[in-house]
Amino acid sequence: MGFDALLSAAAEVASGGSFLYLLAGILLGLCFGVIPGLGGTTALALLIPVTFGMDKLDAMYLAGGVMGATSFGGSITAILLNTPGTAPNAATTFDGYPLARQGKGGLAIGAAACASAMGGVIGLFTLILFIPLAKEIVLSFGPAEFFLLTVLGLTAIAVSVRGKLLRGLIAGCLGLMLAFVGSDAITGDLRFTGGVNYLWDGIPLVPTLTGMFAISQMMELALKGGSVADKNGEVRAERIEISGVWDGVLSVFKNWTVLLRGSFIGTVIGAIPGLGGTVASFLAYSSVVQTAKDPETYGKGNIRGVIAPESANNAKDGGSLIPTVAFGIPGSAETALFLGILVLHGIDPGPSILLYHEREIYGLIVAITGAAVGASLIGLLLSRFLVLITRVDVGIVVPVVVAVSLTGVYVLDGRMADVLLTVVMGVIGYLMIRFDYPRLTLVIALVLGETAEKSFHQVQLISDGHALEFMMARPVSMLLIVATLLTFLLPIGRKMLEGARRRRATTGGL
C-alpha cells in the first residue's frame, strides 16, 4: 500500500507543473542557504503567504524543495568562506574550510553534496518504515501522551540551547505566556485580550514567525551593513577554485559507515521535538571524531568531518516530519513554518493525518527526497555562481525581503493588524538576537503552549480529576515521563563528555 502511494506520488512530481514548483523551491532554497543569516526559516516564512493561492500539493513541493536545498546551499558558504550559510552547517566548517584552504574545496563540496543527498534519502526511507505503523501510533497517543510530549518538547528545547539554559527557559516562558492569549480551547473564556478583538483567536502564528525570523534577521543584517562576504577579506581576494568534485562524491561511498552513522543520528534527533539540524550535525560530527582511529586529523581537513554533519543535517528532515505531521509538534523552526503551510492548506496536523492524508504525506516525502538529490545536483553545477550571492550588498537584500514578507502577511488575511504584529515580533526578535536569547524556544513554546494546556485539561476531564494516576497507568506516558527526566540530565552528561574529550584532545596534541 505504502509503496504504491509512493510511486504515484513520484509520478505526480515528475509531471510538468509540480516539477517546476519543486525546482523553484530548490533554487530558492540554495540561494537562501548560501547567504549566511538567511536560511530555510526565512525562505519558508516568505513563502507561507505566497502559497495561499496554490494547490496544496504544489505548495508542498515548493516548501519541500526549500527545506531539502537550504542545508546544502549553506554548506557551500561554510566550506568556501568559513561562515555557515545556515546554523546547522557550522559543524561543516571544522573540516570543510581547512580543505578549501588546501585547495580541495571541490572535494569538500562534492562530498557535502553527495552526503546531503544520501542522508536525505536514508532519512526518508526511515520515515516510510514508520507509516504502516501509523494506526498503532495514533491509537497509543491520547491527550495524556500529547501533554507529556509537549512537556518533553519544551524541555528538550530549553536544554538544547548550549550553556544558555536560563535564557532558554526565559524565552520559553515568554512563548508560553503568548500562547495563553485568547479564548480558552475548552471553556471558551477570554484571557489576556485587553479588550482587543484581534486577540480573541490568540496570537496568530504566521505573523509571529515572519517577524521573529525574517524581519528580525533583516534588522540584524541592515545594522551590520556591507555585504555578507566582507568579513572574509582574505577569501574575497582569492579566485575561487572548484575542482575534484567527483572525487568528493566518491569519498562518501568509500566512507559509507560514516554516512550511515550520520544519517541515523540525524533521523533520531530529527524525530525528537525541539532538537534540530544544529544538534544533529554537531552530534554526528563529535560522534565520528570520538570513535575515529585518527582523531588528530579532524579539524585539519578530514573529509569524514564533512560527510558526517552534512548527512545528519539532511536526514533529520525525514525524522522531523514524524512529530510535525503526526502530532503537530514541530521539531525545528523550519518545521514550525512548514506546519503553518499545512494548516493554511486545510491539512490539520494530528494523529489522523497519517491515516487520511496519505496522498499529501507521500507527495511531501517525494518532494523532500527529490529536493535533497536535486539540490545537490543543481548545487554542484552552480556552486561557483552561488558563492557570488554573498557579495550582494545588504542594502539591496534587506528592503526586498522586508517588503515581500510584510506584503505577504497582509495578503494572507487582509488584516493590517497582522502586519503590525509582524513588525512588533520583528523588533522583539531583533532584541532577542542582540541580547542572545534563543528565538526558536519562544516560537516552539508558542506553538506547544496551546496543545499543552488543552490536553492537560482533557486529561483532567477524562480521568475524573486524577490526571497523575491516569498517566502513570499508561505505558507510553511512562516512557515519555522517563524521557523528559533524561532530557533534563542530558546537559550534565554532555558537559562531562566534553571534559573527557578535551582531555583526550590535549593528550593527542602532545
Partner 1 sequence: MNVSIKAGVAALAIALAGPALAEYPEKPVTFVVPYGAGGGFDTIARTFAPEVEKTLGQTVVPENIKGASGTRGGQAVARAKPDGYTIGIYNIPGLTVAETLGRDIGFSLNEVTWIANLAESKYAVAVKGDSEINSLEDLCALGHPIKLSDTGKDSTSSITAVIAFDILGCEIVNITGYGGSNDTMIAVMRGEVDATLKPITSLAKYTETGDLKLIATLTDETVVEGVQTTSELGHPELAKFGLNRVVGGPPNMPADVVAKLAEAFRNAAESDEIKTWADGTGTELRYLNAEDTKAMMGDLSKFYLQFKDKLQ
Q: Point out which residues pair with 182 in neighbouring strands.
A: 191
> Binder to partner 1 among 236, 457, 494, 501 (CB under 8 A)?
457
**Is residue 104 near partner 1 by the rule CB under 8 A?**
no
For 183, the enclosing helix (H) or strand (E) is: strand 182-183
Check if the beta carbon of residue 313 is closer than 8 Å to that of residue 291. Answer: no
Tell whether residue 129 is a contact of partner 1 (CB under 8 A): no
Reference 201, options 221, 184, 220; nearest CA is 184
Residue 126 in contact with partner 1, rule: CB under 8 A: no
Decide whether 108 or 203 has the Cβ nearer to partner 1: 203
Quick one: angle between helices 358-386 and 304-321, nearest 10?
Answer: 150
Q: Given candidates 47, 345, 380, 442, which one binds partner 1 under the rule CB under 8 A?
A: 345
Element (H, E) at 190: strand 190-191
How many other C-beta atoms are found inside a 10 Å radius of the C-beta of residue 483? 16
137 makes contact with partner 1 (CB under 8 A):
no
String of contacts with partner 1 for each residue 140-159, x by CB under 8 A: --xx----------------
- Return the range that interacts with partner 1 (CB under 8 A); candidates 77-85, 171-179, 269-277, 339-347: 339-347
Cα distances (angstroms) measured from residue 200 to each of 117, 157, 372:
44, 28, 40
* Separation in Å, CA 140 to CA 158, 327, 347, 498: 26, 12, 21, 37
On the 0-12 / 13-18 / 19+ scale of CB atoms within 10 A, 177 is middle
Q: Looking at beta carbons only, is 59 or 69 nearer to partner 1?
A: 59
> Backbone phi, then psi, for 23, in 5-degree steps?
-65, -45
Select from 294, 352, 416, 495 the one that contacts partner 1 (CB under 8 A).
Answer: 352
Nearer residue to partner 1 within complex by CB, 414 or 475: 414
Q: What is the dihedral of CA 363, 124, 316, 33, to 10 degrees?
A: -50
Nearest approach in angstroms of CB 461 to partner 1 is 5
Cα gap 279→332, rounded to integer Å: 11
462 binds partner 1 (CB under 8 A): yes
What is the closest distance, in whole angstroms, from the C-beta atom of residue 138 to partner 1 in the complex?
Answer: 6
**By the rule CB under 8 A, 138 interacts with partner 1:** yes
Residue 52 makes contact with partner 1 by CB under 8 A: yes
Q: Please state the separation of Cα 191 from the chain's center in Å.
A: 32
Q: Which range binds partner 1 by CB under 8 A, 159-167, 283-291, 394-402, 450-458?
A: 450-458
From candidates 377, 461, 479, 497, binder to partner 1 by CB under 8 A: 461
Q: Which is nearer to partner 1, 128 or 417 (CB)?
A: 417
The answer to whether 411 contacts partner 1 (rule: CB under 8 A) is: no
Q: Determine how many CB atoms are found less than 10 A away from the CB of residue 190.
A: 14
* Residue numbers at the binding site for partner 1 (CB under 8 A): 52, 56, 138-139, 142-143, 185-188, 197, 200-201, 328, 344-348, 350-352, 355-356, 413-415, 454-455, 457-458, 461-462
